[in-house]
Amino acid sequence: MRIKRVCYLAIILLFSVLSFSVNAQEELPSYRLQLGENYTVVSAENTKEAAALLGIPEQQFRDYRAQNHVLTVAAAKDGGVRLSLTAEQNAFSRSAKSFAGYEKNDLEKLLPHFLADGISGSIIYGQNKVPYFRLHSTAADDAGNFTVTRYLTVCRNTQFTLWIEAGEETADDLPDRLFRTLSVGETPEKPSAWLSVIIIGGIVAFSAIALWCSIRIMQDLLHPKKKESN
């Protein structure tokens, strides 16, 4: 009975380590947005500064961040352009897996799913020849009309979207130029040292317990205990 309990413990330990390892591999792919000195870039984790940059209340930004999975926000220092980078895993991204593995004609079949009245779309290639959907529309607020351009790609089951809002006086090619400063990595970051230690340590512990269980089982088979007579 004791051996069975130890074996069960070893199995649970192995599955825990494997599960931890798989979850670690599901971290976001690497990404980089280099806009230059004319833009202020703020991590979405700094909700107070990010809200101030966008000119909205902090709670409103918190809600916006939670609903849209915002990573980073940015704005031109002259106030003419605002950007936000979002990333999420959803049914589409898990199905598409990675745009980098698609031919252009395959992407053209997917593109219409993102189009609607007032939204035009095309395929554009970013850094490392990664394909994106370029989705363009217009909107208006109290300050006047502005354009909204989205650049959407899927990398390792994650949907990345760069949102760019620009005023009417902005050059037509500016959104595309800003988009080309975005880099989304296809290769995940190397696991940190502590993560490797945890995984290796768990495997070593499982191996030791499994070896002990095997020895005890063999001993019981070779030298069975006699039942005590009453």
- Tell me, what's the pLDDT at 210? 59
Total structural domains within the chain: 2
User: Mean pLDDT of residues grouped by 10 in the chain (230 residues)?
Assistant: 52 47 60 92 95 94 94 92 95 94 94 93 94 93 85 95 90 92 68 50 59 61 54
Say how far apart CA 205 and CA 199 lie, in whole Å.
10
- Tell me, what's the pLDDT at 25? 45
What is the domain-level CATH number for residue 37?
3.40.1000
Same domain, 16 and 106: no
Same domain, 37 and 111: yes
- Tell me, what's the pLDDT at 167? 86
Position 228 in a domain: no
Same domain, 134 and 88: yes
- Tell me, what's the pLDDT at 131? 96
Say how far apart CA 33 and CA 55 lie, in whole Å.
21
- Tell me, what's the pLDDT at 185? 75
Same domain, 91 and 146: yes
Residue type, 40: T
Structure tokens at 215: 């020895």
The DSSP-derived string for the chain is -HHHHHHHHHHHHHHHHHHHHHHHHTSPPPEEE---TTEEEEETT-HHHHHHHHTS-HHHHHHHHHHHTEEEEEEETTSSEEEEEEEE--HHHHHH--GGG--HHHHHHHGGGG-BTTBEEEEEE-GGG-EEEEEEEEEEETTEEEEEEEEEEEETTEEEEEEEEEETTS-TTHHHHHHTTEEE-SSPPPPPHHHHHHHHHHHHHHHHHHHHHHHHHHHHHHSPPPPPP-
The boundaries of the domain holding residue 18 are 2-23+191-222
Which residues make Cβ contacts (< 8 Å) with residue 81, sequence separation at least 6? 39, 75, 164, 165, 166, 167, 170, 174, 178
Same domain, 158 and 199: no
- Tell me, what's the pLDDT at 145? 84
User: Is residue 150 within 8 Å of 166, Cβ to Cβ?
Assistant: no
Same domain, 7 and 108: no
Max Cα-Cα span within the chain: 100
- Tell me, what's the pLDDT at 29? 85
Say how far apart CA 29 and CA 190 lie, in whole Å.
11
Same domain, 99 and 199: no
Q: How many CA atoms lie within 13 A of 217 on its CB side?
A: 11
Residue type, 67: Q
Cβ-in-10-Å burial (0-12, 13-18, 19+) of 73 comes to buried
Position 46 in a domain: yes
Same domain, 153 and 204: no
Same domain, 132 and 109: yes
Say how far apart CA 18 and CA 198 lie, in whole Å.
11
